[in-house]
Amino acid sequence: MTYRVAIIMRNTLEALGIKHILEDAFSISPQVFSALGQVPDVGSDLFDFYFTSPELFVKHLDFFLPRRQKVITVTSSPRDDEANVLCANDDESTIIDSINAWFANIERNAVDHQDELSQREIDVLRLIASGMINKEIAESLGISINTVLTHRKNITNKLGIRSVSGLTFYAMMNGIIAPK
């Protein structure tokens, strides 16, 4: 399948590097923009996917949050187990593998929505992202600590994210909590 991809980044070298990788490894011809205002028909869904920096993502939350499942943020520092984050300092094969896994995950999720969190799992995730420990979550929701641990295990299995920082980032990217 051919995807329509927009790279919206101020860093020209990173943008051109991503463009080169997408063209060579995936036969995708992305369009590169240095600002969101340059994207044609910014209100429409002209593009299937977006690559951007965390700074631009946060600056334009109103645009990116509704499209969060279609956005990869490109950082300069590695992030463990975080969904939709690409480290620009990784070697080319790791970047290609990450993008390939991301595209495969998007296609799988389009067909199979078993990875969706239940409402209670979203409640637990919201409290995890707010900094609560298991005992506080149990007290807040009126459930046992064992139930909290079960929800945490299910969240980790469904999302493939193991760290609290990764879960917090996922919660922000998916509108479960608001960025501070």
pLDDT at 162 over 90: no
Task: State the Cα–Cα distance between residues 92 and 102, nearest whole angstrom.
Answer: 15
Contact 82, 169 (CB under 8 A): yes
Q: For the chain, what are the domain ranges?
A: 5-111, 119-173
Task: State the Cα–Cα distance between residues 88 and 74, nearest whole angstrom.
Answer: 6
What pLDDT sits at residue 144? 94
Contact 79, 169 (CB under 8 A): yes
Compute the average pLDDT of residues 103-132: 77
pLDDT at 111 over 50: no
Tell me the percentage of the chain whose pLDDT exceeds 70.
Answer: 89
74 strand-pairing partners: 86
Is CATH 1.10.10.1200 the right assignment for the domain spanning 119-173? no
Tell me the percentage of the chain whose pLDDT exceeds 90.
Answer: 47
21-74 pLDDT per residue, tens:
999 999 999 999 999 989 887 666 788 889 999 999 989 988 888 788 789 999
Phi (first) and psi of residue 170, to 5 degrees: -60, -45
What pLDDT sits at residue 114? 45
DSSP label at residue 143: -
Task: State the Cα–Cα distance between residues 153 and 104, nearest whole angstrom.
Answer: 23
What confidence tier does 128 reach under pLDDT thresholds 50, 70, 90? very high
What confidence tier does 113 reach under pLDDT thresholds 50, 70, 90? very low
How much is the mean pLDDT over the chain? 86
**Range list of β-strands (E), 53-156:** 71-75, 85-87
Fold type of domain 5-111: Rossmann fold (3.40.50)
Q: Is 84 left (phi over 0), alpha (psi -120 to 50) or beta?
A: left
What pLDDT sits at residue 43? 61
What confidence tier does 107 reach under pLDDT thresholds 50, 70, 90? low
Which carries the bigger pLDDT value, residue 116 or residue 89? 89
Instruction: Kindly list the distances between the CA atom of residue 167 and the CA atoms of 5, 84, 119, 149, in Å, as whole numbers in the listed order.
Output: 26, 12, 16, 15
